[in-house]
Amino acid sequence: MTDSASHTGLTLNDVKDAQKRIAATIARTPTIRSVALSRMTEAEIIIKLENLQAIGSFKERGAANRMALLTEEERNRGVITVSAGNHAQGVGRQASLLGMDATIVMPRFTPAAKVAATRSWGARVVLAGDNFDEAVQTAEKIRQEEGRTLIHPFNDPAVIAGQGTCALEMLEDAPELDAIVIPIGGGGLMAGFVTVLKELSPQTKLYGVQVEAYSPLGDYPQPPRQVPGGSTIAEGIAVIQPGNHCLDVIGQQLDGVFVVNELQVESAITTLAEKARQVGEGAGAAPLAAILAHHDFFKGKKVGFPISGGNINARILAHVILRSLLRDGRILRLVFQIPDRPGLLADISEKIGSYGGNIIEVSHHRLFAAPSVQTAELVIMIEARDTEHALDIERELSQHYTVQRD
């Protein structure tokens, strides 16, 4: 990384001051070496567990610092923000601790669980607009009418300084890292890491990661590009354009930006849960997705990343894990064409059991799916120990029945 001043004027002292300011309400999360991930990637993997914050995300760091700087008059008037996720809860919790009134504007289609979590901190939630930009318009109208102070999710120097405290802790607990990989959405977390690393550890390489649909920095160091947007499992970094203050700080300081796809993020979520025993949302798993996708690049290096958030819906997490197991071949979905006569289902089940497979689900179709009235279609989902075991089960069954993998 090269050394250059930021137009935002943010300094390492600003981050250190923020660290003192928020210490009473923000957890100093553990930074640990993951043996399982290190063996898998052939790198030394260091993870910072921001998923263990009170709201399950690093986002409260920035909110806490910005709100601690409010004047008495601003506190009396209350605050407002726009967020569909972690920042909303951070502002809500800090307002509750400070005894302030907070209004959170969230897009209408925000998941009910996130709305409920934000309201649980006592914040007023206003559902408006079909997307973030439309929600911003409503928030601006309320801000002007009620005189509230905006607590921006990322594009604010005080918020960036708060996020930078994550970098301070990580370097104190894990010095001499060869590289750090940070998810980039609005850019606040990355800008905080840039501010700290360029002063305290300029030799450490700093890489960003974005998802395909939201990768405005995918051509870095070229200027931000237009991106299509759309649905993504990494909604925490689903930002069309990083904030201008964040871009000022980031400048030409990064050593590269990786772009990952949806399936790579899903696999990384599963790997975090299965290997590291950590729950990470899409944005929190994106750095691991980049490391796994670029195995040879990171091999042999000491690489750190924060699990920036762990707020993933339980149903979505279950679906992601099942999809990953299906792709890895550890869950088989086999379709049998069998004669429609008694005893065959029992025979197939017995064979699967003798091969060491675990039957998860059975679906038997006679009327519509079968090619003949004299046959039936049987769909069985089977759990295997690993990919090789799954292939063995499929081969053995194919010797006795007409079967294909679905």
Residues 171-221 have pLDDT tens digits of: 999 999 999 999 999 999 999 999 999 999 999 999 999 999 999 999 999
Match 């605050």 to its residue by tokens: 79
Check whether residue 267 and residue 401 sit in a common domain: no
| Percent of the chain clearing pLDDT 70 (strictly above) | 96
pLDDT band per the 50, 70, 90 thresholds, residue 77: very high
Instruction: Examine the residue annotation and report whether 308 is marked as an active-site residue of this protein.
Output: yes
Check whether residue 200 and residue 299 sit in a common domain: yes
Model pTM score: 0.89
Question: What pLDDT is recorded for position 3?
Answer: 34
C-beta of residue 182 within 8 angstroms of C-beta of residue 303:
no
Q: Which is the catalytic residue, given 57, 215, 267, 308?
A: 308
Check whether residue 265 and residue 384 sit in a common domain: no
- How many domains is the chain built from? 3
Question: What pLDDT is recorded for position 6?
Answer: 46
pLDDT band per the 50, 70, 90 thresholds, residue 5: very low
Check whether residue 171 and residue 276 sit in a common domain: yes
Check whether residue 181 and residue 264 sit in a common domain: yes
Q: Which is the catalytic residue, given 6, 34, 57, 59?
A: 59
Angle between helices 157-173 and 12-22 (to 10 degrees): 90
Residues 285-326 have pLDDT tens digits of: 999 999 999 999 999 999 999 999 999 989 999 999 999 988
Residues 239-257 have pLDDT tens digits of: 899 999 999 999 999 999 9
Does 77 map to a domain? yes
SS3 readout for the chain: CCCCCCCCCCCHHHHHHHHHHHCCCCCCCCEEECHHHHHHHCCEEEEECHHHCCCCECHHHHHHHHHHCCCHHHHHHCEEEECCCHHHHHHHHHHHHHCCCEEEEECCCCCHHHHHHHHCCCCEEEECCCCHHHHHHHHHHHHHHHCCEECCCCCCHHHHHHHHHHHHHHHHHCCCCCEEEEECCCCHHHHHHHHHHHHHCCCCEEEEEEECCECCCCCCCCCCCCCCCCCCCCHHHCCCCCCHHHHHHHCCCCCEEEEECHHHHHHHHHHHHHHHCCCCCHHHHHHHHHHHHCHHHHCCCEEEEECCECCCCHHHHHHHHHHHHHHHCCEEEEEEEEECCCCHHHHHHHHHHHCCCEEEEEEEECCCCCCCCCEEEEEEEEECCCHHHHHHHHHHHHCCCEEEEC
Over residues 117-121, mean pLDDT:
92
Question: What pLDDT is recorded for position 187?
Answer: 96
Does 2 map to a domain? no
CATH code, domain with 375: 3.30.70.260
For residue 287, give its domain range: 12-54+156-313
Check whether residue 97 and residue 163 sit in a common domain: no
Does 192 map to a domain? yes
CB atoms within 10 A of CB 313: 14
pLDDT band per the 50, 70, 90 thresholds, residue 136: confident
Spatial separation of the C-alpha atoms in residues 406 and 404, rounded to whole Å: 6
Check whether residue 131 and residue 263 sit in a common domain: no
pLDDT band per the 50, 70, 90 thresholds, residue 4: very low
Residue 378, pLDDT > 50, answer: yes
On average, the pLDDT of the chain sits at 92
Query: Which domain-ending residue is among 259, 285, 313?
Result: 313
Instruction: Examine the residue annotation and report whether 198 is marked as an active-site residue of this protein.
Output: no
Query: Which domain-ending residue is among 125, 150, 175?
Result: 150
Of 24, 2, 279, 278, which Cα lies nearest the Cα of 165?
A: 24
Residue 50 or residue 114, greater confidence: 50
Residue 162, pLDDT > 80, answer: yes
pLDDT band per the 50, 70, 90 thresholds, residue 402: confident
Over residues 76-97, mean pLDDT:
94
Check whether residue 232 and residue 163 sit in a common domain: yes
Does 320 map to a domain? no
Residues 17-74 have pLDDT tens digits of: 999 999 999 999 999 999 999 999 999 999 999 999 999 999 999 999 999 999 999 9
Query: Which domain-ending residue is among 107, 133, 150?
Result: 150
Check whether residue 204 and residue 333 sit in a common domain: no
Check whether residue 299 and residue 390 sit in a common domain: no
Match 């006795």 to its residue by tokens: 400
CATH code, domain with 192: 3.40.50.1100
Check whether residue 109 and residue 240 sit in a common domain: no
Check whether residue 395 and residue 277 sit in a common domain: no
Residues 333-375 have pLDDT tens digits of: 899 888 877 788 888 899 999 999 999 988 876 545 545 556 7
